[in-house]
Amino acid sequence: MEMMTVEQAIYQALAEEMQRDNRVIAMGEGIATKQLQLVEAFGKERVRNTPLAEAVVAGTAVGAAASGLRPVIDMLFAPFLSYAMDALVNSAGKLRQISGGQFEFPLVTLAMTGSGWCVGGQHNHNLEAAFVHMPGLKVLMPSTPADFKGLLKSAIRDNNPVLLFTDLGLLHSQGEVPRDTDYLVPLAKAAIRRIGTDVTLVSYAKTVAVCELAATQLAEQGIEAEVIDLRCLKPLDETTVLASVRKTGRLVCVHEASGLCGMAAELSALVAEKAFESLRAPVMRVTGADATPPASWMLEQVGVPSVQNIMGAVIDQVAIKTMPAAYRLS
């Protein structure tokens, strides 16, 4: 193990995979300028600076992926993906199925988002759920440096288009990362960060740590919260979430993205459909607002789920001693 930041873990994973497989290439606006160690190790043919033209960068990656290369593209900030939607959604996501399975798209798209840098709504916009809605794509949003390494390596080895969102607030956070060059974290497997019996907190990215803090404080009040870090939003690890809710009977979903049609809504529906009989209280969501993420530090903080918000939701839930009759199965 060695201590490193999320950013270092990302580029270590990329370098290891480029070393392992010469079909892996990296493209992006500035990647060859900023990641000089990659250029030194693999040359400018495999580490490519691109024009500021997201549509053709993504399209080129899609065409290359279908033709034998394994591109990793750095699209910088998540809102810039709007220019790349045709390539990622209509081409990478759909052309495998449209063609009856003739093509594979081993392609990884990196994008940063999230509060903490006060960059405003055209650089910070948590769009992950929008991509979860798109067929053929996989979506990752890890929370620890080790997971960034292990998940990115798995994504590069996967034969499908994967988006990996990096929460800006985590970019420079540190953690222990295995040195193993074959350290892989499987896609579609959530991590249980804290075991508890009274309520399940499900989150991903930066707000996992907020949930863990809330859980610590709840424990002081005698409430034991289980904290699940989804890590991979699509495919969704339904098994881990359902098993936990069946145990605790309560679910609070937490994320920074807007709640409307977001991951929390999906998790709520999942539990309503498959674990309704276990619920001892209505599912609650603690999410960002249906509004443009602001640049003002003060407003940015208001829009992010806090320990206080999460604790409030849990305490409200626990106060419900029995479900209203209408909720009970006959």
Partner 1 sequence: MHTSQYQMAEPTDKSLQWLEQMQLIRTYELHLAAMQSKGVPGTCTSVGQEACAVGVMAALDKRDRILTNHRSAAHLLARGASPGRLLAEVLGRIDGYCGGFSGSLHISAKELGVILTSTIVGGELSMAPGVALAQKMGQGEAGGIVTVFFGDGAACEGIFHEALNLAVQWQLPLLFVCENNQWQAFVHRLETMPDNAIINWARGHGLMVDTVDGNDVHAVFESATQAVSAIRSDSMPRFLELCTYRQRGHFEPDDQAYVDRQELAHWLERDPIKRLCQRLLQQGMLTQQSLNNMQQAIDEQIQAAQAFADASPWPDAAMLTRHVYA
What residues make contact with partner 1 under the rule CB under 8 A? 23, 25, 45, 48, 50-51, 53, 55-56, 58-69, 71, 86-87, 90-91, 95-106, 135-136, 138, 159-160
For tokens 């160690």, what's the residue?
37
Cβ 293 to partner 1 shortest distance, Å: 26
**Token code pair at residue 108:** 């990884």
> In this complex, which beta carbon is closest to partner 1, that of residue 7 or of residue 104?
104
Cβ 71 to partner 1 shortest distance, Å: 8
> In this complex, which beta carbon is closest to partner 1, that of residue 34 or of residue 157?
157
Q: Provide φ and ψ at 254, rounded to 5°.
A: -130, 125
Q: E strand or H helix at 37, and its extent? A: helix 36-42
Cα(301)–Cα(146) distance, rounded to whole angstroms?
Answer: 26
Indicate if 123 belongs to the active site.
yes
Cβ 110 to partner 1 shortest distance, Å: 17
Cα(187)–Cα(238) distance, rounded to whole angstroms?
Answer: 13
Contact between 147 and 190 under an 8 Å Cβ cutoff? The reply is no
> In this complex, which beta carbon is closest to partner 1, that of residue 29 or of residue 226?
29
**Rg of the chain, C-alpha, whole Å:** 20
> In this complex, which beta carbon is closest to partner 1, that of residue 57 or of residue 168?
57
Cβ 88 to partner 1 shortest distance, Å: 10
Query: What dihedral angle (degrees, nearest 10) is formed by the CA atoms of 91, 92, 98, 102?
Result: 120
Active site residue: 123, 125, 133, 255, which one? 123
List residues with catalytic annotation: 123
